[in-house]
Amino acid sequence: MFEILPNPSLEIILIAGRALFLIGAFWVFALAFIRWRRADERSTERLYAQLERAFDEMRSLHETVAVMSARLEALSERAETGARLAPAGPIGAQRSYDLAQRLAKSGSDIEALIESCGLTRYEAELLTRLHGKNREQQDYSKPSPEKAKSWRASDTGMSSAGTTGRKKGSLLSVVG
């Protein structure tokens, strides 16, 4: 049965071996190229994801900078307005206090004193308490019964929690 097959020569066997070797090498090269391409695609996708995160952070920072610059502009406008409303010197300050005193006597409210005279809220409250129309109606000579009890308790060194042994307002009560 083997007699029918021709006897291959050594040259044909070497050519067939080279062909099989080339096909095998091409197949290995193709597999390596496919793996390299897939790895490159994965690294490109990771790079795009990192770039997208960086762009998102940059957009967020841009929005933050825009908000902060708007706040700075508002603060600078407020400072310019405050500088224009601030008195020029001690003479201007005295005049604004005189004006505020007259306005408080005429019955102006705290907001009007703040806006027209450039006072702080506490100064305006003090002037309305001292010179306002409600001052004449209040009687400061007689304290309410609750205030009188608390004054007596503080004079004797007693508090609502009991005896402390120290006068309220003394240096020991503040330090100790």
pLDDT in tens, 42-71: 999 999 999 999 999 999 999 999 999 999
> pLDDT digits over 15-41, tens only?
999 999 999 999 999 999 999 999 999
- In this prediction, residue 3 carries a pLDDT of 63
Please check whether residue 118 is in contact with residue 86, taking contact to mean a CB–CB distance below 8 angstroms.
yes
Give the chain's mean pLDDT.
78
- In this prediction, residue 140 carries a pLDDT of 45
Residue 95 CA to residue 101 CA, distance in Å, equals 10
- In this prediction, residue 60 carries a pLDDT of 96
Using alpha carbons, select from 131, 121, 122, 120 the residue that is nearest to residue 98: 131
- Say yes or no to pLDDT of 144 above 70: no
Which residue spans within the chain are E strands per DSSP? 158-159, 162-163
Residue 60 CA to residue 56 CA, distance in Å, equals 6
- Say yes or no to pLDDT of 161 above 50: no
- Say yes or no to pLDDT of 173 above 90: no
Please give the share of the chain, as a percent, with pLDDT higher than 90. 36
- In this prediction, residue 134 carries a pLDDT of 64
- In this prediction, residue 151 carries a pLDDT of 46
- The strand pairing partners of 163, in sequence order, are 158
Interstrand relation of 162-163 and 158-159 (parallel, antiparallel or unpaired):
antiparallel
- In this prediction, residue 27 carries a pLDDT of 97
| Sign of the four-CA dihedral 138, 139, 145, 146 | positive
**Is residue 132 very low, low, confident or very high in pLDDT (cuts 50, 70, 90)?**
confident
- In this prediction, residue 57 carries a pLDDT of 96
Neighbours of 57 (CB within 10 A): 10
Please check whether residue 157 is in contact with residue 169, taking contact to mean a CB–CB distance below 8 angstroms.
no
Please check whether residue 173 is in contact with residue 164, taking contact to mean a CB–CB distance below 8 angstroms.
yes
Q: Identify the residue with better confidence: 110 or 142.
A: 110
